[in-house]
Amino acid sequence: MGPGLQNPRPTSAPASGSGRPFTPTSAPIAGGTIDFPGLASLYDGTWQTPLHAANSSPPTSPWPWRMEPYLQGNSAAASNGSLPDHQSTWVDRSGLQQATAPEERRPALPQYEPRMSKTVPGQPRALDWLTEEGKVRFTEVEDAIHSQWGRSNHYRSTCLLLCEDWRHSDPLDLMALFSPDNMPPVGSPRAKYSYKDHGVAFTRAKVWFESVNRTAGNLDVYLNTGPFKPMDASHLCHQEHCIIHVVYEPAHINHDRSQCCSRAKFLRSEGKDVPELCSIHVPPCLMQNAATTALEIHYQQFTVLSMANDLPLPVPPTKPFRYPYPTFEGRLPCRFPSLIVGPADLVNKPTSEKITQRPTLRCDFCTQDVLRNFATIHGFWCHIVNKHQGVENDVRLAVVRESASRWRRYWEIYSGGGKRANSTSLKLEQTTHEGFCWSDVLAWSLRWG
């Protein structure tokens, strides 16, 4: 029982004709009163409550409005003025009867083990992804990528395909070397993004920082931790390497979108008009983007890059042999009205020096015609040592030394020389020694991942 029942005291009714509003601070029951601490300070004297909105006078019952529906829902209590021992229904503040009390309707929180950080012992993973600093950092990186490709950050018409092999390459270099033969193959690793102790695909990072309410609970869902339904970064354009047209939604909806992609491709293959948007999903699938091939999109994004830098437009090839569609849409504008570009969509700003001056680490030994630029010097050395063992050691040693020289200059200019005790900086310093040889490279025990 409440304190009012344990310490009963008499109560006095408000004086009639006093002109003061009835302010309920206690209510009489058999043998005493029930106190309502603080209720007087909340009461405004108008009785404009769900139960008494029709009149402005005090109710006939001395019970405050919060307790009056309680007694109205329990006739035994209302008849003798006592609190019932058991309540079959719960009457909420609005006077509506509920089958159970709020605490009984509230679902129990699931119990599960969180994913822990690999760099900070004892700390859950990706806590920095909850911060505004993390969002600002991602926005800076995304804006730099758009600027590299000559696009404003609000341009959403054509896709921007970016695989991990192209992530750290100069787009102008890629445009000069690109051909249908060295286009990234289907299934190439998607562009990645890392911040502090967590890394994911760039598109998944995008939906987290731009679409999700960044709370600790949503972070567990995002990390696929606990008994929650999986959530995907779904491509509205159905282009696996696009970093623009993505939305955060349940995995089953993402899978259901495949029917729209198939329909868009079928309509184009039959020479029929492809609608701009689907009529099934929310947000809708971008049907005309889905009906465009990756080869066409690459020439379209190189066209946007050329327009932004006042360069001659690239010349798309003739329709390849056994092409699935009647026409090849590598130019802008094309037959799809939604795929357009205007002057306001272009930017001709110099990309940040830290990105443009990053050394290009491209392997000249690779015979496969795939454009790839390594993101780190460590990854490049691993590739040289482990993937090209048929190349003479002296030739590979010269490549290691030359790349180390360029990377060391990059660190000295843009990162203050890097971390002095870092293992990579120690290797860079070792390559400058006169007696440096291939056995020293093997002693580094370079391994993937």
Question: Tens of pLDDT along the chain (449 residues)?
Answer: 444 444 444 444 444 444 444 444 444 444 444 444 444 443 444 444 443 444 444 444 443 434 444 444 444 444 444 444 445 555 555 666 655 556 566 677 788 888 999 888 899 999 999 999 999 999 999 999 999 999 998 999 999 999 988 988 889 989 988 988 888 888 889 999 999 999 999 999 999 999 888 998 899 999 998 888 999 999 999 999 999 999 999 999 999 999 999 999 999 999 999 999 999 999 999 999 999 999 999 999 999 999 999 999 998 888 888 899 999 999 999 999 999 999 999 997 654 444 445 788 888 888 656 677 787 888 888 988 888 888 999 999 999 999 988 888 887 776 655 555 578 888 888 898 888 999 999 998 887 65
Q: Give the count of beta carbons closer than 10 Å to the beta carbon of residue 237.
A: 24
Q: Give the count of beta carbons closer than 10 Å to the beta carbon of residue 419.
A: 12
**pLDDT number for residue 387:** 87
**pLDDT number for residue 348:** 79
Alpha-carbon distance 40 to 430, whole Å?
79
Could you write out the DSSP letters of every residue in 294-314?
HHHHHHHHHHHHHHHTT-PPP
- The DSSP code for 166 is G
Measuring CA to CA, how many Å separate 123 from each of 114, 120, 138, 225, 330?
9, 6, 22, 15, 49
**pLDDT number for residue 1:** 44
Alpha carbon 186 to its chain centroid, in Å, reads: 24
150-187 burial, b at 16+ Cβ within 10 Å, e below that, comes to bbeeebbbbbbbbbbbbbbbbbbebbeebeeeebbeee
pLDDT in tens, 116-156: 998 888 999 999 999 999 999 999 999 999 999 999 989 99
**pLDDT number for residue 21:** 44
**pLDDT number for residue 192:** 94
Q: How many residues does the chain have?
A: 449
Q: Helix, strand or coil for residue 7?
A: coil
Alpha-carbon distance 272 to 264, whole Å?
10
Q: Give the count of beta carbons closer than 10 Å to the beta carbon of residue 188.
A: 17
**pLDDT number for residue 253:** 95
**pLDDT number for residue 285:** 97
β-bridge pairing 198-201 and 26-29: unpaired
pLDDT in tens, 375-410: 788 888 898 888 888 899 999 999 999 998 888 888
pTM of the model: 0.69
**pLDDT number for residue 212:** 82
